[in-house]
Amino acid sequence: MDILELSYKNLPDDLKACFLYFAALEEDKEISVSKLIRLWMAEGFIQKEASNSLEGLAENYLMDLIGRSLIIVTKRRSTGGVKACRVHDIVRCLCLLKSKEENFLELVTSKDEPYASFDGSMDIDDFDPSDSMTYEKYRLCVHASRKHFFMSRPSGPYVRSLLFYATTDTYPRCPYDTLFISKNFKLLKVLDLECANMGNSFANGIELLVQLHYLAVGGDIDSIPSSLANLQNLETFLVKGLKGKVTIPDSIWTMTSLRHLHVENHATFALQDGKIGSSCELSNLVSLSSPSLSYREHAEEILRGLPNLQKLSCIFSKSWDNSKKCNQFPRLEDMTHLESLKISYIGRSVSSGEFSFPLSLRKLTLSTFFLR
């Protein structure tokens, strides 16, 4: 541990925060590098430089930590980058120790109150909301069961980052009321509820958290309300739709700070009057998944509104119109920043001559295509 402490002491200040953040993440699980980088960005750990993007700088920070043997690479991308990583148990102990010493974050697990009592002397259904815990630290990370967390209704008037990781029942079958989040945590910049189930409607009150830079939610959601556009500082928006299709509102085109928009399993764009406005453009968006597109539904018009997109994973479906034009694959040669493209296809066979890709493309994945 002494050697590790020395390694930590010798870290540049901007790397110390990035390293300590591993204390908040799930133990003994692979860590998605793309998610980690987006969290670092939302926390303000990455300071923009003219010569590199925020994502590029964050990757450099990660490689520095890997080079110092503090982080272990567990998966690599086909292009050579790091896809997933983890920390050794001893290194995580150091993260926990230093994060506590420096008041970096508060980690609450099922072994801590009030959750420890729920597993023993107290039934969660008998819990009095007036006994809810109030947390003071800047960052709060809770590792507990979904039922215990949502029924306990914690609060944090000064908390800026709230991350929740469910420790039981791997599939979130039961929906929970999340209204207390916007009432009890009004200053949030980071909110991660991806492993929760907020039911079939988007969480009430989240549109009031106007300082959010990172938002991850999950549930039986089939549409996102237009009021999401109130979150003009939002940079990363992740939706885990347990039903399948999620409709993205037309107001998304006003959220010009967005850099990462990801919907699981697939998304459709709600276009006002069947089209997007001529001035609508998400010029900061660099990654998008997984919109469902077809030529008939203005696929090229949508993609033209994303001029700086670097990574796109989408579903392209055959139009019911049998004309050649309506079944034509969108022309992408003008997307000059696109580096990674993944397409799942639904429809008739496609001629390989119908594709038009940009020269910038480095990785191409075609799924369920019948090429001829």
Q: What would the pLDDT profile of 123-145 be if each residue is shown by its tens digit?
A: 556 667 667 899 999 999 999 98
Tell me, yes or no, whether 162 lies in a domain: yes
Q: Are residues 21 and 138 in the same domain?
A: no
Q: What average pLDDT score do residues 273-299 get?
A: 78
Among candidate residues 91, 126, 158, the one where a domain is terminated: 91
| Cα–Cα distance, 232 to 239 (Å, whole number) | 17
Question: Residue 297 is which amino acid?
Answer: E
Nearest partner of 21 among 163, 230, 228, judged by Cα = 163
Q: Are residues 46 and 65 in the same domain?
A: yes
Q: Are residues 291 and 358 in the same domain?
A: yes
Among candidate residues 58, 91, 124, the one where a domain is terminated: 91
Q: Are residues 174 and 259 in the same domain?
A: yes
- Strand 31-32 relative to strand 214-219, pairing: unpaired
pLDDT of residue 125: 61
Question: Residue 100 is which amino acid?
Answer: K
Tell me, yes or no, whether 317 lies in a domain: yes
Q: Are residues 189 and 153 in the same domain?
A: yes
Chain position carrying tokens 């953040």: 21
Q: What average pLDDT score do residues 200-204 get?
A: 75
What percentage of the chain exceeds 70 in pLDDT? 87
Q: Are residues 55 and 117 in the same domain?
A: no
Cβ-proximal residues to 287 (8 Å cutoff; 6+ apart), any chain:
34, 259, 260, 261, 262, 309, 310, 311, 312
263 compared with 204, residue with greater pLDDT: 263
| Cα–Cα distance, 292 to 189 (Å, whole number) | 29
91-117 pLDDT per residue, tens: 999 999 999 999 999 999 988 888 887
Tell me, yes or no, whether 103 lies in a domain: yes
Tell me, yes or no, whether 64 lies in a domain: yes
Do 256 and 231 contact (CB within 8 A), yes or no? no
Structural domain span for residue 145: 94-367
Give the CATH number for residue 55.
Answer: 1.10.10.10
| Cα–Cα distance, 284 to 260 (Å, whole number) | 9
| Cα–Cα distance, 157 to 190 (Å, whole number) | 14
Average pLDDT, the chain: 87
Alpha helices (runs of H) in 248-298, residue ranges in sequence order: none
Q: Are residues 43 and 117 in the same domain?
A: no
DSSP letter (8 states) at residue 328: P
| Cα–Cα distance, 144 to 148 (Å, whole number) | 7
Handedness of CA 268, 272, 278, 283 (dihedral sign): negative
Tell me, yes or no, whether 372 lies in a domain: no
Do 172 and 242 contact (CB within 8 A), yes or no? yes
Label residue 192 by pLDDT band (50, 70, 90): very high
Handedness of CA 289, 295, 297, 303 (dihedral sign): positive
Q: Are residues 184 and 274 in the same domain?
A: yes
Q: Are residues 64 and 127 in the same domain?
A: no
Give the CATH number for residue 158.
Answer: 3.80.10.10
Tell me, yes or no, whether 299 lies in a domain: yes
pLDDT of residue 319: 60
Tell me the DSSP string of 119-173. TTT--GGG--GGG--B--SSEEEEEE-HHHHHHH--B-TT--EEEEEE-S-SS--
Tell me, yes or no, whether 181 lies in a domain: yes
Among candidate residues 91, 108, 138, the one where a domain is terminated: 91
Q: Are residues 334 and 236 in the same domain?
A: yes
Maximum mean pLDDT: which of 6-15, 125-134, 199-208, 278-287: 6-15
| Cα–Cα distance, 133 to 153 (Å, whole number) | 8
Q: Are residues 6 and 108 in the same domain?
A: no
Q: pTM score > 0.85 for this model?
A: yes
Tally of domains within the chain: 2
Tell me, yes or no, whether 110 lies in a domain: yes
Nearest partner of 173 among 148, 201, 203, 195, judged by Cα = 195
320-343 pLDDT per residue, tens: 555 555 556 788 888 999 999 999
| Cα–Cα distance, 360 to 301 (Å, whole number) | 20
Instruction: Round to the nearest angstrom and report the end-to-end CA distance of the chain.
Output: 60
**Secondary structure (3-state) at 161:** strand
Q: Are residues 188 and 243 in the same domain?
A: yes
